[in-house]
Amino acid sequence: MPSPDDRVLWYPEGLQTPSEVSASPSPSPAESSLGETVQLPAPFFPPSLVQQDHPRGESTVPRGLPSTLNLPEVPKEKACKGIDSLDVGTPDAWIPRDPRMVRLTGKHPFNSEAKLKDLYAQGFLTPSNLFFVRNHGAVPKIDQKMAEEWKLNIHGLCSNPTTFGLSDLRSRFRVVTVPVTLVCAGNRRKEQNVVKQSLGFSWGAAGISTALFTGVYLSDVLEYIHPKRNAKHIIFEGNDDLPNGPYGTSQLLSWARDKRRGMMLAWAMNGLPLEPDHGFPLRLVVPSQIGGRSVKWLSRIELSENESQHHLHFQDNKVLPMPVSSDQARAEKHWWYNPKYIIRDLNVNSAIACPDHDEIIDTSSQPHNEVYVVKGYAYAGGGRRVTRVEVSSDNGHTWSLASITYPEDLFRAVTDFDSVYGELDLTDSDACFCWCFWTFDMPIATIQASRSITVRCMDESLALQPRNMYWSATGMMNNWWFRVCIQRLEDGRVRFEHPTMAGAQPGGWMQRLKDAGLDPSNPDFLPDPSAPGQINNTEGPKAEAQEVQMTKPGNGRKITITELGSPEAKEHAWFVVRGEVYMGSGFFDDHPGGAQSIMLVAGEDATEDFMAIHSSHARKQLADFHIGTLEGTVEAKASDDDEPPSGSFLSAKKWKKVVLVNIKDVSGDAKIYRFALEGEEQELGLPFGQHVYVRLRKKVTSTNVGEGELVQRAYTPLSERGARGFIDMLIKIYYPTTAFPLGGRMTLGLSELSVGDTVELKGPVGHFIWKGKGIASIHGEEKHVSEIGLVCGGSGITPIRQVLRGILTDASDSETKVWVVDVNRHFEDILCREELEQLTSEHPGRFRLHHSLTGKSIPENWTYSVGRITREMLTTHLPTPGDNKLVCICGPVSMERSVKAFLNEIGWDSSNQIVLF
């Protein structure tokens, strides 16, 4: 790469659009050599957002390449100017979009693909209007001035940390254009969702698109900033505003430095600036890897010893083991943090585009020696070439080779320099970054005799598409054989039927098969004389859920009611589920709620509670602790509903009803729910640091998933010390997102409540109690604490706040010092801010408070930190490690993990000095 001094690029003072640049003479080959001064346009505004009355309002057609190069034609579609009616009333109502796109997540956020027929008809390069879109939330609204001032901050473990503007990137590094196919990891997920619902929404087979991306090689930028030897990962962060922080992910630094992998920082596609949906003004482009690695609206790059800690780096783009169900993946977070399940390179895949779904041809009127040209696409990952595509007309018993064309290879035969595209030179590259196309001439006679057309492909590593589906909880990387069913109609015509239709569109042989009670993952397309054209697997397995086995086979032990109440049974927390007895002590160490949550049901029938909140995986684990069958039934405790209210409200053994009397909005997704206790002067009876179980039955609605199900979860009340007659709970509602389409089961149930509705409470529960006078009880063992650090994120403030109150409102304790680090996205998200500030002013020598904001909008007078929690932040704003000191953490799992890791590095003992709520 030439140094900045070797290559000076000239920039006009005003912005140039492609039409203005194309109107000026292009440099000759001699003038465009790397050592000479050349002309490149300054950053320009997306044509889709240019108003008709704008002086450059005609600049909406992509700048083409010279026809003499004999390259695939750049799409000539004009950028959309109109606002789709489906976007009206959403945060994206300002973005022009093509109404032909199939929306996969309702109105918002915008996740969409073209119809496969429309996509394939465009050829090698996809116009931006039909390029698939994967958004996790609202698109950042970036105007022309913001784009001109856009900054890319590169920092971390490098010798030359730098902030680049777009013009800096264009002037300091070689500008290149490379054809790249991007593919969503969820491509063809609808097929998996028909078999069994995954955690993701239903992509069809058009979650794939190709464009000419213009920008600079990431490897050149990394050479400029000089990574340090201990840097292992490179972390990328976008500028979007999501509930758990901006989208971010990381690459292995060794891969990013390898120019053969082609990673780019790009500002244009197909000769025009990036559209808002595609990352304007700057994005990362990672060829041959899943689309989720190509971060849009790129604003920050960090070199680190560790991989990205962004929420969606862990909670997305994984292929979990097939035995892990969706419920289990949602409930058991450790699966998401196992590095073995991360996806980087694409797998080998192919699909049939012609014939289209529901296409009908008349075979009876055509000679048998006539052919129908079957067409489709194929791709592979890691820069590997697809080496063969095979087509079968007999359900995979025999295969024939299809013809393959590689339009990408045309770019390997030319070198060119252009004022818009920069250098176009792939002559020394053998990596395959794009899809290829295949065709197969199938005789009409074969179509008449067949019941399906099946395709599979292989890449140069000999990776082959499998016959059977590998179902996973995320539904990603689905690449089993692509099959099109052939149905013979009564009039001699044939109708083709694809496996699924994207999104909520009806149709497809897989859903038809499932509706018939058959197994859509095991189709048999062999001829069936009794039902021409139908799938012949009527003897196949029924699509019914299997009952989870929760008992040990052959265990015939009988347990009496007397034994259930014995000292041994109490010590080991025996409990009953569906008439079977289990030893609860086996769960003490691993249960998320700790031993006390199990002791709550010792000696009782816990069927209702257990079945309401545990996944099928947890039910299966129950078999390991099965000790026998109960003789008789556990009698319910005598009701005291008619007794006058007295004493504390909570009962550790009995669910008790409370009535919702008020709902107060705190922020966009947080609310305070006030529930009335039995008596106006009644205390709740909850020690500081402990929680209550809340149980409710979700309301039945026409759209609710899991209608009427019973759900429960532990919460920490917001109520102050000495509050009587009510309990306040601060709840953050987890609405459905693209990453978790079903949202939070419990919080959505709470969001449906109206004043006058009831829920049930039980408790206290938890392994931590602040007893007062500087004494904490952890798992039943008391510990004197002189200084305590409390770290929280978002609504995690609620248990932290209770402990803080327990310390600072204790008249018998004037010594214990408290440090709080509270992280939120925006200033408005800081919960209990006024109370925290008041406690700071009232206890200046004992209480130190520090905030950090991770969002993009920071108040001008902000005096605290900006960004996620770092080791330096914890070192500065928490007590130093030592005897009689503790740190308590409550927040998202990813935050708890990273904070605990930092604390261990600082010197805190995770087994004795760190408590996770």
Tell me, yes or no, whether 600 lies in a domain.
yes
Residue 508: partners with Cβ closer than 8 Å, 6 or more residues away: 190, 194, 357, 497, 498, 499, 500, 501
> Could you tell me if 426 and 337 lie in one domain?
no
**Exactly one of 184, 434, 485, 888 is catalytic; which is it?**
184
At which of 630, 660, 684 does a domain end?
630
Distance CA 244, CA 679 (A): 39
pLDDT of residue 482: 98
Q: Both 360 and 448 in a single domain? A: yes
Is the per-residue pLDDT at 283 higher than 90?
A: yes
Residues 332 and 370 in one domain: no
Residue 184 is a catalytic residue: yes
User: DSSP letter string over 602-664?
Assistant: TTSB-HHHHHHH--HHHHHHGGGGEEEEESS-PPPPPP-TTSPP-SBS--SSS-EEEEEEEEE
Residues 297 and 385 in one domain: no
Q: Kindly give the residue spans of alpha helices, DSSP state H, lying in 232-310.
A: 253-256
Pair 207, 153 in one domain: yes
Residue range(s) defining the domain that contains residue 364:
349-515
Does a cis peptide bond (omega within 30 degrees of 0) precede residue 109?
A: yes
- Binding site per annotation, positions for Mo-molybdopterin: 184
Which pLDDT belongs to residue 266?
A: 97
Give residue for tokens 């109150």: 805
Q: Are 330 and 190 within one domain? A: yes
Share in percent of the chain as helix, strand, coil (round to 5): 20, 25, 50
More confident residue, 224 or 31: 224
Is residue 716 situated within a structural domain? no
Closest Cα partner for 869 from 847, 896, 887?
A: 896
Mean pLDDT of 813-839: 87
pLDDT of residue 257: 97
Q: Is the pLDDT confidence value at 641 over 50?
A: no
Q: Is residue 333 part of a domain?
A: yes
pLDDT, tens digit (0-9, with 9 covering 90-100), for 379-415: 999 999 999 999 999 999 999 999 999 999 999 999 9
Q: What is the pLDDT of residue 342?
A: 96
Give the number of other Cβ atoms within 10 Å of residue 631's Cβ. 14
Place of tokens 């595209």: 421
CA distance 303 to 232: 7
Q: For 148-169, how does the pLDDT look when each residue is reduced to its tens digit (9 = 90+)? A: 999 999 999 999 999 999 999 9
In a domain, residue 202? The reply is: yes
| Residue of 87, 316, 416, 609 marked catalytic | 316
Which one of 584, 606, 630 terminates a domain? 630
Is the same domain home to 420 and 462?
Answer: yes
pLDDT of residue 535: 52
Q: Is 457 one of the annotated active-site residues of the chain?
A: no
CA distance 722 to 648: 11
Examine the domain organization and report whether 487 and 581 are in the same domain. no
The one catalytic residue in 244, 317, 537, 824 is: 317
**Domain boundary, last residue among 457, 489, 515:** 515
pTM above 0.85, yes or no: no
Of the candidate ranges 71-85, 93-107, 626-640, the one whose mean pLDDT is the lowest: 626-640
Within this chain, do residues 397 and 417 fall inside the same structural domain, yes or no? yes
Cα(195)–Cα(386) distance, integer angstroms: 28
User: Is 206 domain-assigned?
Assistant: yes
Confidence of residue 820 (pLDDT cuts 50, 70, 90): very high
pLDDT at residue 809 in the model: 84
Report the percent of the chain where pLDDT is more than 90: 48
- Over residues 131-153, the pLDDT tens digits come to 999 999 999 999 989 999 999 99
Residue 770 or residue 610, greater confidence: 770
Q: Does 167 map to a domain?
A: yes
pLDDT above 70: residue 768: yes
CATH (domain of 467):
2.60.40.650
368 and 417 share one domain? yes
pLDDT at residue 614 in the model: 67
Quick: pLDDT tens for 652-694: 778 889 999 999 887 667 888 999 988 888 888 888 878 888 8
> Could you tell me if residue 319 is inside a domain?
yes
Mean pLDDT of the chain: 84
Contact yes or no for 886/909 (Cβ under 8 A): no
Q: Tell me the mean pLDDT in the region 839-855.
A: 89
Give yes or no: 316 in active site.
yes
The encoded tokens of residue 795 equal 């609504």
| pLDDT band at residue 831 under the 50/70/90 scheme | confident
Q: How confident is the model over 460-485, as pLDDT tens digits?
A: 999 999 999 999 999 999 999 999 99
- In this prediction, residue 754 carries a pLDDT of 87
Strands of 368-492 (E only): list them. Answer: 371-379, 386-392, 400-401, 403-405, 415-418, 422-425, 436-443, 452-459, 482-488
654 part of a folded domain: no
- Tell me the CATH number at 834: 3.40.50.80
Total structural domains in the chain? 4
Please indicate, yes or no, whether residues 358 and 337 belong to a single structural domain of this protein: no
Helices (H) and strands (E) in the chain, counts: 21, 46
How far is Cα 308 from Cα 311, in angstroms, rounded to an integer? 9
Of the pLDDT bands very low, low, confident and very high (cuts 50, 70, 90), residue 701 is very low
| Burial status of residue 398 (CB atoms within 10 A of its CB: 0-12, 13-18, 19 or more) | exposed
* Rounded average pLDDT over 621-633: 86
CATH number of the domain residue 590 falls in:
3.10.120.10
Q: What is the pLDDT of residues 284-330, one digit of tens each?
A: 999 999 999 999 999 999 999 999 999 999 999 999 999 999 989 98
What is the structure's pLDDT at 707?
A: 44
Mean pLDDT lowest for which of 44-58, 230-244, 542-556, 763-777? 44-58
Q: Are 361 and 336 within one domain?
A: no
Q: Say which range, 239-243, 578-582, 742-746, 768-772, has the weakest mean pLDDT.
A: 742-746
Structure confidence at residue 23 (pLDDT): 33
